[in-house]
Structure 1
Amino acid sequence: MQKFEVVSMIKINGEWVRQEDIPREELCKLLEKKFDQAMKGIGFERVKTA
């Protein structure tokens, strides 16, 4: 039986990077920016409350 390893990776500047190799604050900013882009693409806009 084979052992599976699940790895979360993000493509940054054309290069795949392991999610755990990116500082948490930088990763949060990247994801926030990507979610905002995706939401605007389907007609929604995020309202910052804090």
Structure 2
Amino acid sequence: MFLTMIAAKIRAYLRYRETVRELSRLTDRELDDLGLSRSDIQYVARTHAA
């Protein structure tokens, strides 16, 4: 049970980092097309990973 919880937290963190990395690579124009700004990246990544 404990190891399963740890593994889930690690997977969520990896999803968070991957989302931040991918969104950070987009230009401001591409982010605007998605309705996002640079300041939204961490929030979106955190929401996606949860």
Shorter-chain TM-score bucket reads 0.3 to 0.5
Higher relative contact order (CA 8 A, sep 6+): 2
Q: What is the TM-score when the length of structure 1 is the normalising length?
A: 0.41
Bigger radius of gyration = 1
Would you tell me which structure has more helix in proportion to its own residues?
2
